[in-house]
Amino acid sequence: MTFSLKHYQERALNSLRHFFGQLANQADLHKVWREQPFQQEFIARGEPTLPYQDKAFGDVPCVCLRLPTGGGKTLLAAHVIGDVSRHYTFNEAPVALWLVPSDAIREQTLKALMNKQHPYRQSLDQRFNDKVRVCTLESLATVGPHEVGTNAIIVVATIQAFRVADTTQRNVYSFDESLIHHFTDVTSTLMPGLEVVTEADLVAQPFLTTADLGRVKASLANWLHLHKPVIIVDEAHNSRTQNSFETLKRFNPSAIVELTATPVKGSNVLYHVSAQELKNEEMIKLPIMLVEHVTGWQDAARDAILRQRQLETLAQKEPEYLRPIVLFQAEPKGKSVTVEVLAQHLETVEKIPKEQIAIATGTQKELDGVNLFDPECPVRYVITVEALKEGWDCSFAYILCSMQESRSAKDVEQLLGRVLRMPYAKARKHPELNQAYAHITARSFGEALHSIQDNLVNNMGFDPMDAALALQSQPAGNNNLFNDESDGTGGAAPSQPSMSVPLPVMPQTPVPAELQDKIEIRPTQSGSTVLIHGEMTQEVEDFILTGVPKKHQAMVQQRMEQEKARHDAQTSPSARGVLFRQLPLLCWRDNGFASLADAELFEEFSNFNLLNEAIELPYFAVNEQAKSWALDMERGRLSSSFVSATQMNLNGIQSANTEQDLIGWLDSQLRQPNVFQRDMQAYLTQMLAYLTHTRKITLTALIRGKFQLADALQRDILARRKRAGEKGFQQELCNMEAAKVDDGMEFFFNFKPQYYAGRPPYYKGTYRFQKHYYGSALIHDLREKTSAGKWAEEFLCARAIDEHPKIKHWVRNVEKEPRLSFKLPVAGGYFYPDFVCELTDGRLLVVEYKGQHLQDNADSREKAAVGAQWEKTSGGQCLFLMATADNNGANVSSQINLKIDAR
**From CA 397, how far away is CA 418, in angstroms rounded?**
6
Per DSSP, 224 falls in state: H
Q: By the 8 A CB rule, do 808 and 840 touch?
A: yes
Crossing angle between the packed helical segments 659-669 and 706-732, to the nearest 10 degrees: 50
CA distances from 483 to 11, 310, 492 (A): 40, 8, 8
- Rounded CA gap, 487 and 230, in Å? 52
| Proportion of the chain above pLDDT 70, given as a percent | 89
Biggest CA pair distance of the chain? 97
pTM: 0.86
What is the C-alpha separation between 334 and 364, in angstroms, rounded?
17
Query: What dihedral do alpha carbons 306, 307, 309, 311 form, nearest 10°?
Result: 170
Q: Is the pLDDT reported for residue 459 higher than 70? A: yes
The one-letter code for the residue type at 902 is A
* Cα(755)–Cα(736) distance, integer angstroms: 29
- Which amino acid belongs to residue 808? K
Instruction: Quote the pLDDT of residue 494.
Output: 43
Helix (H) or strand (E) holding 16: helix 7-26
**pLDDT the model gives residue 836:** 98
Instruction: Classify residue 385 by burial, with Cβ atoms within 10 Å: 0-12, 13-18, 19+.
Output: buried
* Cα radius of gyration rounded to whole Å, the chain: 31
Angle subtended at Cα 444 by Cα 442 and Cα 449, rounded to the nearest 5 degrees: 70
Mean pLDDT value of segment 71-90 = 94
* 503 contacts 544 by C-beta, under 8 angstroms: yes
Euclidean distance between the first and the last CA atom of the chain, given in angstroms as a whole number: 54
What domains can be seen in the chain, in order of their start residue?
Answer: 7-273 (3.40.50), 277-485 (3.40.50.300), 498-567 (no CATH), 571-622+705-903 (no CATH)
Residue 636 has pLDDT above 90, yes or no: no
pLDDT of residue 789: 86
Q: Which phi and psi (to 5°) does residue 724 adopt?
A: -65, -40
The span from the CA of 318 to the CA of 316, in Å, is 6
Helix (H, G, I), strand (E, B) or coil at 499: strand
Q: Are 12 and 271 in contact (CB under 8 A)?
A: yes
**CA nearest neighbour of 57 among 190, 269, 252, 195:** 252
The C-alpha atoms of residue 782 and residue 801 are separated, in whole angstroms, by: 14
User: How far is Cα 100 from Cα 110, in angstroms, rounded to an integer?
Assistant: 11
* pLDDT of residue 638 exceeding 50: no
Instruction: Please tell me the number of Cα atoms within 13 Å of 805 on its side-chain side.
Output: 1
pLDDT score, position 903: 67
pLDDT in tens, 387-396: 666 557 789 9
Query: Which pLDDT does position 485 carry in this prediction?
Result: 42
| Mean pLDDT score of the chain | 87
Q: Do the beta carbons of residue 792 and residue 785 sit within 8 Å? A: yes
CA 276, CA 163: separation in Å to the nearest integer?
Answer: 36
Residue 831: which H helix or E strand, with range? Answer: strand 829-831
Q: What is the pLDDT of residues 156-165, one digit of tens each?
A: 999 888 876 6
CA distance 545 to 559: 11
Dihedral over alpha carbons 73, 77, 80, 82 (to 10 degrees): -140
